[in-house]
Amino acid sequence: MRIEWSHIRKCYEISDARTRPARNQMKNIGLLDFSASVSEGITVVLGPRGAGKSTLLRVTATVMVPDDGNVLYQLTDKEMVEWSRGCLMASGISSVSPLKQIISYIPHAKQLDNDMTVEQSLILQARSKRVLRSRKRAMELLTRWGLAGVRHTPLYQLRGGALKRFLLAHGLIGKPRIWILDEPTEGLDPLGRALLWQELRHPSKDRITLIATERDMALAELADQLILMECGQCRRHGKRKWLTAGVKEGTVSAWYRTMQTFSYQQER
């Protein structure tokens, strides 16, 4: 399996009338001519705030349409799916329906606006992903991710570590082949961190895991591949071992420091 991004551009229109000049509508650049590719394994996307990491994840998860360029998903030797504005206009959203079943996207959420309980939501998700024995699978995940104590809690009341663990369990329920995580360790408690590490160290064989993080270098050390972003573009990408071989310490953190033209350290 492989994902290939070609010349992706994504701009956001600035909606705040106070910051918008009267005639020229201003745009924020999310992605600018972004090209790269990844194969099975864990890919960690690094970059400073505003580099475009979340935008890349949203486009790849097909929750956002790129303005230009395309994403190709090589699912098997014979099956390839394209995601682009052109494809969407020509064939509608059904053109990416094979992806909807296999992608799980976990956004960077601080709170959920939903009064369903944890248990109900996991069962519903298992059913929507057409998991066999969906209730059993939901209970399995509920227990494994330490959610039994909050099973009857409405989602809007979940906070901190429990919320993060719920999101991870929810995302894994359908055994996704493409697992996309935006800042998964932010707000995660030690139990969740240990469970996430376990999951990342023993992944399904045929899975692409795409993780964005701004500063969790311990997470980045688990990567098979790295993408370094800056100003909406891909500045470097490749195998972690090759990229870090050039620095004395041989770690992602040391490599990342040598790549800084942005103020990673000064921000701290």
Among 3, 8, 30, 42, binds ligand ATP (CB under 6 A): 30
CA distance linking residue 172 with residue 162, whole number of Å: 15
Stretch 120-179 residues interacting with ligand ATP (CB under 6 A): none
CA distance linking residue 70 with residue 63, whole number of Å: 14
Instruction: Pick the closer one to ligand ATP by CB: 47 or 146.
Output: 47
* 3-state DSSP helix/strand/coil % of the chain, to nearest 5: 35, 25, 35
Residue 25 found at the interface with ligand ATP (CB under 6 A): no
Stretch 71-130 residues interacting with ligand ATP (CB under 6 A): none
Residue 51 found at the interface with ligand ATP (CB under 6 A): yes
Quote the least distance from Cβ 94 to ligand ATP, whole Å.
Answer: 26
DSSP tag of 256: H
Q: Are strands 103-106 and 178-182 parallel, antiparallel or unpaired?
A: parallel
Contact region with ligand ATP (CB under 6 A), list: 43-51, 62-70, 81-89, 148-156 = 43-51
Stretch 218-247 residues interacting with ligand ATP (CB under 6 A): none
Residue 214 found at the interface with ligand ATP (CB under 6 A): yes
Quote the least distance from Cβ 8 to ligand ATP, whole Å.
Answer: 12
Contact 181, 154 (CB under 8 A): no
**Length of the chain in residues, anyone?**
268
Q: What is the phi/psi pair of residue 132, to 5°? A: -70, 145
CA distance linking residue 43 with residue 222, whole number of Å: 9
Contact region with ligand ATP (CB under 6 A), list: 50-58, 83-91, 134-142, 189-197 = 50-58
Among 23, 49, 201, 205, binds ligand ATP (CB under 6 A): 49
User: Bridge partners of 229?
Assistant: 234
Q: Tell me the Cα Rg of the chain.
A: 19
Quote the least distance from Cβ 240 to ligand ATP, whole Å.
Answer: 19
Quote the least distance from Cβ 149 to ligand ATP, whole Å.
Answer: 31
Dump the DSSP string for 20-57: S-SSS--EEEEEEEEEEEEESEEEEEE--TTSSHHHHH
Quote the least distance from Cβ 71 to ligand ATP, whole Å.
Answer: 15
Residue 28 found at the interface with ligand ATP (CB under 6 A): yes
Question: What residues line the site for ligand ATP (CB under 6 A)?
Answer: 12, 14, 28, 30, 47, 49-55, 214
